[in-house]
Amino acid sequence: MKAIAVLPGQPGSVHLADLERPSVNDVPNGRGVLVRVLRVGVDGTDKEINAAEYGAAPKGYEFLVLGHEGFGVVEAVGENVTELAPGDYVVATVRRPGASIYDRIGMQDMTTDTTYYERGINLRHGYLTEHYVDDADFIVKLPAALKEVGVLLEPTTVVEKGIHQAFEIQRRLRVWRPRRAAVMGAGTVGLLAAMALRLRGLEVTVFARKPAPTLNSELVTALGARYVSTSTSSIAAGASAFGPFDLIFEATGSSEIVFESLDVLGRNGVLVLSSVTGGDKKIEVPADRINLSFVLGNKVMVGTVNAAREHFEMGVRDLGAAELEFPGWLNRLLTHPVRGLDSYRELFTALTEAKGAIKVFLEVAPLPAA
Ligand code: BGC
Ligand code: ZN
């Protein structure tokens, strides 16, 4: 079976590997699910793994199969799988349990272990191949009506977890009625965060570098959200016009923006950080002022990574709600389809070079008609 893989530690090593075809019985206790891969999205994480910034091969392999944003159709199930059946559209979660107490209760997204296992990222093969098998516990069903946009579920779960964390934390306030939100960044995650916050009835301002109009700015306004370009207005100016913000979702990929965000967070507000910044950037910040406003304003900042099964389920519901409330909107995010596992070079060229790309994804196989 063909698979798109890298040799961890070797920059630019993306290649076509040969992987043994899995069987439903590879998973014990009759809980195996065999999935035929249809589409796989790629993102900055794949770019960084191919640049050898991180990523590790599973034990016994030299290569790591990429792809953590999967979408597929069930082909076979083990005898103890009752919740899924052949023909179901599914997405598998990314992280697999380690040893911490959180891992043991299905919350491996909150692991305290140093080593973590993520399909397509670290120590486990991903979904950029023809078939995969996994335990039904890690596989989430989508309605057939979402098949066109199902490949967006995994990035949506990053947003769902972040927002859910914010609401969980804000239970400290007994009554929290967030009205104004800011989203930093208008890439895939920023756009999906704006969508999820609009679906929850918040007034949303998205800050992004590029001046409007761009496809991204149009997608923001199509949600009934506001787009502010930081090339013409500072975040501080944008916040004094449209803030203060009760919730800020940071998804720019740039750690600098975190500190500007801290400065425009409202009293009792919560700032959610989701950018994975692998670099070594150093900046000067107004430390006393930020600290004082956090102390006197009872503010919170929280980091979020990965997502648990419940966030995948929330994501399915939000994708469905978005299709009803903003018909066709999700489809417009799917800007760069690339066809076939043989086109791995094209896939990575689109990922690293395509102008105006929102979601680059591989069509591993055509979507079934029915
Ligand atoms: C993935 C997450 C993962 C994180 C860190 C992101 O690109 O979407 O599932 O936890 O990278 O590896
Ligand atoms: Zn990702």
Q: How much is the pLDDT for 278?
A: 85
Question: Helices 255-262 & 287-296, crossing angle to 10 degrees?
Answer: 50
157-303 CATH: 3.40.50.720
CATH 3.40.50.720 residue spans of the chain = 157-303
Minimal-distance CA residue to ligand 1 atom 6: 45
pLDDT category of residue 105 using cuts at 50, 70 and 90:
very high
Residue ranges matching CATH 3.90.180.10 in the chain = 2-149+334-363
Q: What's the alpha-carbon Rg for the chain, to the nearest Å?
A: 20
How high is the pLDDT of residue 83? 98
Amino acid at 81: V
Q: Give tens-digit pLDDT for 17-27.
A: 999 999 999 99
- Cβ of 43 closer than 6 Å to ligand 1, yes or no, is yes
For the CA of 45, the closest atom of ligand 1 is 7
Q: What spacing in Å lies between the alpha carbon of 52 and ligand 1's midpoint?
A: 16
| Ligand 1 mutation pick, 121, 127, 361, max ligand atoms within 8 A of CB | 121
Is the Cα torsion angle 308, 277, 334, 194 positive or negative in sign? positive
Confidence band of 279 (pLDDT split at 50, 70, 90): confident
Cα(155) to ligand 1 centroid in Å equals 9
The pLDDT of residue 243 is 96
Whether residue 306 has its Cβ less than 6 Å from ligand 1: yes
Taking the centre of ligand 1 as the mean of its atom positions, its distance from the CA of residue 185, in whole angstroms, is 17
Mutate which of 161, 305, 359, 360 for ligand 1? The one with the most ligand atoms within 8 Å of its CB, which is 305
Ligand 1: does its nearest atom lie under 6 Å from the Cβ of 94? yes
Residue 265 pLDDT > 90: yes
User: What is the token pair recorded at 301?
Assistant: 């900042």
- Is the predicted pLDDT of residue 211 greater than 90, yes or no? yes
Q: What is the pLDDT of residues 154-199, one digit of tens each?
A: 999 999 999 999 999 999 999 999 999 999 999 999 999 999 999 9
Q: What is the pLDDT of residue 285?
A: 95
Contact by Cβ (8 Å): 181, 247: yes
Q: What is the pLDDT of residues 311-337, one digit of tens each?
A: 999 999 999 999 999 999 999 999 999
> Measured on CA atoms in the order 130, 136, 137, 139, is the torsion positive or negative?
positive
59-64: long-range contacts, CB 8 A cutoff, minimum separation 24: 59/123, 61/125, 62/7, 63/5, 63/6, 63/7, 63/8, 63/15, 63/17, 64/5, 64/6, 64/7, 64/8, 64/120, 64/125, 64/126
CATH architecture under which domain 2-149+334-363 falls: Alpha-Beta Complex (3.90)
Q: Cα–Cα distance between 240 and 158 in angstroms, integer?
A: 28
CA–centroid distance, 304 to ligand 1, in Å, is: 10
Q: What is the structure's pLDDT at 370?
A: 72
Whether the predicted model's global pTM rises above the 0.95 cut: yes
